[in-house]
Amino acid sequence: MNDTYLAVIAVAVAVMAVIQVAAIVVAMRAVRRVGDTVSRLEGDLRPIVANLKSMSVDAARTASIASAQAQRAEQLIGDLTARVNSTAAVVEQTVIGPAREAYAVVQGLMAALSAFRQGAPSPGRRPASTEEEDSLFIG
C-alpha cells in the first residue's frame, strides 16, 4: 500500500508540475501581449504628446503676443487721453478765456447803453418799479 501512496503522490506532483509549467507559459504569453500593447500604445501616444507640446508652445507664444498688444493698446490710450486733455486745456486758454472777457465787455456795453436810453430820473418822478411795488403793498 505504501507503493500505491507513493505512486499517487508522484502522479500528483507531476500533474502539479505540468500545471505550474502551463501557468508559467500562459503568464509569459500574457506578459508578451501586454508588452506589445504597451509598445503600440506608446507609439500611438508619441505623436499626440508631440502635438500637445507644440500646441502649448504656440499657446504660450500667442499669450505673450496678446499681452504685448494689450500693453501697446493701453499705452496708446494713455497717450491719446493725455493729448486730448492738453488740447482741451489749450482750447480753453486760447478760446474760452478771451470769449468770456469779450462777453463781459459786451454785457458792460449793453448795460451802459441801457442806462443811457432810460435817461437820468427827474427829481419829482419816481422810477416805475417803485410805483409797481407800492400798488402791490397791502397795509
Domain spans of the chain, in order of start:
2-85
Contact 121, 127 (CB under 8 A): yes
The tens digit of pLDDT for each residue in 61-118 reads 999 999 999 999 999 999 999 999 999 888 888 888 788 888 888 898 898 888 888 8
Cα dihedral 90/91/96/99 (nearest 10): 110
The tens digit of pLDDT for each residue in 114-135 reads 888 886 555 555 555 566 666 6
Give me the amino acid identity at 122: S
Band of the pLDDT at 137, cuts 50, 70, 90? low
The tens digit of pLDDT for each residue in 16-37 reads 999 999 999 999 999 999 999 9
Q: How far apart are CA 28 and CA 31, in angstroms?
A: 5
Residue pointed to by grid coordinates 499669450: 63
Cβ-based burial of 99 (10 A; exposed 0-12, middle 13-18, buried ≥19): exposed
Give the torsion sign (CA, 51, 52, 56, 62). positive
pLDDT of residue 127: 54
